[in-house]
Amino acid sequence: MKMNTLLSLAIGITLSTSSSAFELTSTDITEGQKMAKTFEFSGFGCEGDNLSPQLSWDNAPEGTKSFAVTAYDPDAPTGSGWWHWLGFNIPVETSSLKRGQDMARLGAVELTSDYGSIGFGGACPPKGHGMHRYQFTVWALPVDKLELDNSVSAAILGYTLNSMAIGKAQLTATYNR
């Protein structure tokens, strides 16, 4: 009986003193809510401002040495989704990206989006295709720099991030036309 009481007390103390969860927030987009036209692509029949939203993250896991940020639409009618933004080697002292951020200015590497251009490519779901989800993810990495360059595919970066991230935080906004 005493062992169970001690164990319960120890678990309660551990839970109450554990650090806060890794979290991604934005002043521009809200979880589960439709994004503004500001974040729509300019091209492919879309007429938005093609700006990336502001993103901030807190409570990165212990051991984090750099970050990656991705934006992905799993609802795109491609069979493989649509990569809107892929950046990595973001310095560990970075905890936010401003609206319209060029990650290269931070010393990060940005990959070609599925639009065929480097940097952010906004939402542009086909008209009448329904609501699409846009998953903005910040990845906490245990290395200062990934040994990849800007010629790797989104699949290679995704594989690398999923195989080594020590934490990730996600914010999913929506959009339709």
Q: State pLDDT tens for residues 126-171.
A: 999 999 999 999 999 999 999 999 999 999 999 999 999 999 999 9
Count of C-beta atoms within a 10 Å radius of residue 44: 11
* C-alpha span between 14 and 73 (Å, rounded): 37
Residue pair 171/24 in contact by the 8 Å Cβ criterion: yes
Domain ranges of the chain: 21-175
Q: What is the pLDDT of residue 19?
A: 60
pLDDT of residue 20: 87
**21-175: CATH superfamily:** PEBP-like (3.90.280.10)
pTM of the model: 0.88
Q: Report pLDDT for 56.
A: 98
pLDDT of residue 65: 98
Q: Which residues of the chain have pLDDT under 50?
A: 1-18
